[in-house]
Amino acid sequence: MAWLPVRLSGHLDATLPKLNVDAVRTADSCKTKGVDTIRRILSGIGDLLAAIVLLGTAIVACAGVWLASMTVDGDYDRASLHHRAYSSWAHVDPGTNGIRSQDVQIVAPLHLQPHQISETVREAFLTAEDRWFEVHPGFNPLTFGRAILQEMQATLGFGGSGGGGSTITQQLVKNLILTSERDYLRKFRELLIALRLETIFSKDEILAMYLNNIFFGHGAYGIEAASRTYFGRSTVWPRRSGTINIGETALLALSVRAPSRSNPDNGRVRLESEARQLISAMKTRGFLTAAEARNADAQLHRAKGDLDWAMHIARARDFALGVGLPEDLQNRAQPMVVSTTLEPEAQLYADRAVERLLQRARRVDSAYDDAAVVILRPDGAIAAMSAAQSYRDAGGFNVLAEGRRSPGSTIKPFIYLCAFADGKTLETPVQDTAKEFRDGWTPRNSDGRYLGRMTAGRALALSRNPPAVALWFDYANCFNRTMQQLGISGTLPNQPSAVLGTASVAPLDIARWYATLANGGRTVEPYAIWHARSTEGRTIYHHELPPAEPTLLSTNRSARCTLERGLKGVVSSGGTGKRAAFAHPMAGKTGTSQNGRDAWFVGYTGRYVAVVWLGAKQRTPKQAISGSGLPALIFANMMATLHQGKARLPLPCDSRSPRPEGPGDLALTD
């Protein structure tokens, strides 16, 4: 560079070292960018491979819908699955000495229909459990693959316990259909059945079935039972007690993860902390405003409800088992899942009715020491059974099926049935007079009076004794034969006093008699099991109605309908059962034993048959209560509550339409 000017030469010499440093820095930067580019390429290849895996999984999922119908054993059609989802059911694991109450874990939710699931409940559970529920085909490929990987790592000893990754649909399958065993085969069957469910039911239906059957702790299955258990309020109806709020809904949504360890009654502090995170997530998802989220945080307070929900269901289980299992299931040694006829809401109301009846009766006379309620559906399905003394406390004695009490005048209508079959009508004249019949015996009325000449319809409505006794002398054979056909577990004396209640029967017997009237004349055998299946999903038992046996009630519609009109008169304004009437078509009969130790009301609608009994087992009460009093009032209150929101159904002789049967009619209604 000698030819350059000195000044310029010096300048270049001064700048050359600097240029060399910048070149090195540029080279290093290029090298770093090259590494980053390689990393991005490799990441892209990884993403592509992951996409290929996910696409393959999706293809397998689509093929699985078809494959599920071909390779998964069990009854997974819409009708069978809907039946399971909307009935009470139980896990039965027989012991070495047969099936006992401790071998039966009953699941009895208060069922909700899809339209009854509030938006708050829906959003809370989807945010907590399955945010992709609306779009996935029954399982989430990414979380499902992660769960399988975790399970493999846990199996090989390289990680903690596997699990998680189940969608709401898969959880429904696990709780409603399969067992909780953890193995790859069960997981694969779970996936296939979940895919199948998504093709059979809508998303709303799947969510409702999930919320109806998931466990929340404290014996509460289903969101409605949990809401009443922990907060004493409903998720549906804005009753006097109101509905649960957003904060309480968040607590319930988080309880399903570990219900025995963490629920609104146990592990509350940790659950509230998680609930605040859930409320924040619901705000992020746009469901809650900032103000609503703040209010929800403030709502996380303790509000105790009926924590004895499990007790109500255990009582129903014990009494139902006391009736007896079907012969096909009695000797089974393998575990099974059975669908029961028990209706949790009916059981709750029956338990409350027994408690109130006995409390109010003891205020009148302390001699009253027992009470019972039986609720059947017209085909004999047991909806609820309750007694003041539980099955266990009574040493395994089932007073509802094995107790022997005087039926009072509840048996009286069936002597009229025989007269109506012979051409008599409600207008036929009869005599309510002091008449000596046999061996100097003169039947008396409870009020000590005789009203003289009257119609048969009025005599039945007022439960007068002399006219019924007079009919026995003409129709004793018909009466005895009819009662044996209807079912009587005790003794029926062959004497005129039998029509006044000197027989010995169980409360369940009386329910059977009137169920035959309620279903149009078909005799019934009470039962508590609809259906049973193996843990693999195969049907091993399905209840079938026995062949109809011809009886006077089934073969003579005219006589049966005349009697039904007479029993409507009993609950009319002029009848002894007027206090039992409520805002649904119904018929019924009062009954009181001679010494006042038994007081009854039995009635039926197009939907239910119910028997209410009050008894004094140890001593005769000084102030007797009649069936037209407290039993009739308790019946009306219980049945009005049980029928709340349900359609008014006609009685058999008012319409030839079929009676409702099966659990599909059991869901709560608005």
DSSP secondary structure letters along 70-123: HH--S--SHHHHHHHHTSEEEEE--BTTB--GGGEEEE------GGGS-HHHHH
Is 80 exceeded by the pLDDT of residue 147? no
The predicted pLDDT at position 348 comes to: 85
Question: 3-state SS string over 172-210?
Answer: HHHHHCCCCCCCHHHHHHHHHHHHHHHHHCCHHHHHHHH
When pLDDT is averaged across residues 153-176 and rounded to a whole number, the result is: 70
Q: For tokens 């255990």, what's the residue?
A: 314
Distance CA 99, CA 101 (A): 7
Amino acid residing at 364: V
- Give the best-scoring range by mean pLDDT among 83-87, 183-187, 192-196, 512-516: 512-516
**Confidence band (pLDDT; 50, 70, 90) for 403?**
confident
**Confidence band (pLDDT; 50, 70, 90) for 397?**
low
Q: Which two tokens stand for residue 623?
A: 């102030």
The predicted pLDDT at position 536 comes to: 73
The predicted pLDDT at position 30 comes to: 53
CATH number of 525's domain: 3.40.710.10
Please choose, from the candidates 466, 503, 467, 465, the residue with its C-alpha nearest in 3D space to the C-alpha of residue 483.
503
When pLDDT is averaged across residues 470-477 and rounded to a whole number, the result is: 95
Please choose, from the candidates 667, 659, 665, the residue with its C-alpha nearest in 3D space to the C-alpha of residue 211.
667
Is 80 exceeded by the pLDDT of residue 513? yes
**How many domains, in total, are found in the chain?**
2
Contacts of 255 (CB under 8 A, 6+ apart): 216, 217, 226, 262, 263, 264, 271
513 and 597 part of one domain: yes
Is 60 exceeded by the pLDDT of residue 662? no
297 and 350 part of one domain: no
Selected residue with higher pLDDT from 19 and 189: 189
Per-residue pLDDT tens over the stretch 326-383 = 777 877 888 888 888 888 889 889 988 999 999 999 999 999 988 999 999 999 999 9
CA Rg value for the chain? 35
Domain boundary among 283, 307, 331: 307
The predicted pLDDT at position 87 comes to: 78
551 and 406 part of one domain: yes
**Confidence band (pLDDT; 50, 70, 90) for 156?**
low
Report the 10 Å Cβ neighbour count for 472.
Answer: 21
Is 80 exceeded by the pLDDT of residue 255? yes
Instruction: Flag whether 186 is in a domain.
Output: yes
Distance CA 424, CA 447 (A): 27
- Give the best-scoring range by mean pLDDT among 50-64, 144-158, 269-283, 653-667: 269-283
Per-residue pLDDT tens over the stretch 204-253 = 999 999 999 899 988 788 898 888 888 877 887 554 456 788 999 999 99
At CA 199, angle to CA 196 and CA 203, rounded to 5? 110
354 and 420 part of one domain: yes
Selected residue with higher pLDDT from 90 and 469: 469
Please choose, from the candidates 651, 591, 176, the residue with its C-alpha nearest in 3D space to the C-alpha of residue 405.
591
The predicted pLDDT at position 60 comes to: 55
**Confidence band (pLDDT; 50, 70, 90) for 3?**
very low
* 3 state SS of 393: coil
Is 60 exceeded by the pLDDT of residue 31? no
Per-residue pLDDT tens over the stretch 58-91 = 555 555 544 444 445 556 678 878 877 887 877 8
Distance CA 167, CA 561 (A): 54
Is 90 exceeded by the pLDDT of residue 516? yes
Per-residue pLDDT tens over the stretch 623-641 = 889 999 999 999 999 999 9
Q: For tokens 């494959």, what's the residue?
A: 67
Domain boundary among 252, 278, 307: 307
Per-residue pLDDT tens over the stretch 296-329 = 888 886 566 655 666 666 666 766 666 667 777 8
Domain boundary among 282, 307, 332: 307
The predicted pLDDT at position 605 comes to: 97
Distance CA 404, CA 412 (A): 18
Burial (CB count <10 Å: 0-12, 13-18, 19+), residue 359 = exposed
Question: 3-state SS string over 339-352?
Answer: EECCCHHHHHHHHH
Range with the poorest average pLDDT among 36-45, 414-423, 546-555: 36-45
When pLDDT is averaged across residues 176-195 and rounded to a whole number, the result is: 74
The predicted pLDDT at position 106 comes to: 76
Domain that holds residue 628: 344-665
The predicted pLDDT at position 16 comes to: 41
Question: Do residues 554 and 521 touch, judged by C-beta distance below 8 A?
Answer: yes
Contacts of 13 (CB under 8 A, 6+ apart): 1
Please choose, from the candidates 315, 313, 339, the residue with its C-alpha nearest in 3D space to the C-alpha of residue 527.
339
474 and 549 part of one domain: yes
601 and 513 part of one domain: yes
DSSP annotation of 218: T
Is 60 exceeded by the pLDDT of residue 533? yes
The predicted pLDDT at position 80 comes to: 77
Q: Which two tokens stand for residue 361?
A: 């009766």
479 and 532 part of one domain: yes
The predicted pLDDT at position 519 comes to: 93
Instruction: Flag whether 621 is in a domain.
Output: yes
Instruction: Flag whether 322 is in a domain.
Output: no
Distance CA 412, CA 434 (A): 18
218 and 271 part of one domain: yes
Question: Do residues 479 and 414 touch, judged by C-beta distance below 8 A?
Answer: yes
Per-residue pLDDT tens over the stretch 561-606 = 999 999 999 999 899 999 999 999 999 999 999 888 999 999 999 9
Instruction: Flag whether 91 is in a domain.
Output: no
Selected residue with higher pLDDT from 425 and 549: 425
CA 510 to chain CA centroid, nearest Å: 24
Selected residue with higher pLDDT from 373 and 258: 373
Range with the poorest average pLDDT among 183-192, 301-310, 630-639, 657-666: 657-666
Selected residue with higher pLDDT from 283 and 658: 283
661 and 569 part of one domain: yes
pLDDT, the chain, mean: 81
Distance CA 61, CA 430 (A): 76
Instruction: Flag whether 68 is in a domain.
Output: no
Name 336's bridge partners. Answer: 92, 534
Burial (CB count <10 Å: 0-12, 13-18, 19+), residue 96 = exposed
**Confidence band (pLDDT; 50, 70, 90) for 22?**
low
Instruction: Flag whether 191 is in a domain.
Output: yes
469 and 601 part of one domain: yes
Selected residue with higher pLDDT from 655 and 490: 490
The predicted pLDDT at position 289 comes to: 92
Q: Which two tokens stand for residue 107?
A: 């699941």
- Rounded to 10°, the helix 203-213/119-129 angle is 80
448 and 563 part of one domain: yes
Per-residue pLDDT tens over the stretch 430-467 = 999 999 887 788 999 988 999 999 999 999 999 999 99
The predicted pLDDT at position 52 comes to: 63
The predicted pLDDT at position 609 comes to: 98
The predicted pLDDT at position 557 comes to: 93
DSSP annotation of 501: T
Instruction: Flag whether 323 is in a domain.
Output: no
The predicted pLDDT at position 336 comes to: 86
Positive or negative, the CA dihedral 516, 522, 526, 528 is negative
CATH number of 173's domain: 1.10.3810.10
Distance CA 447, CA 453 (A): 17
360 and 273 part of one domain: no
- Give the best-scoring range by mean pLDDT among 18-22, 85-89, 132-136, 652-656: 132-136
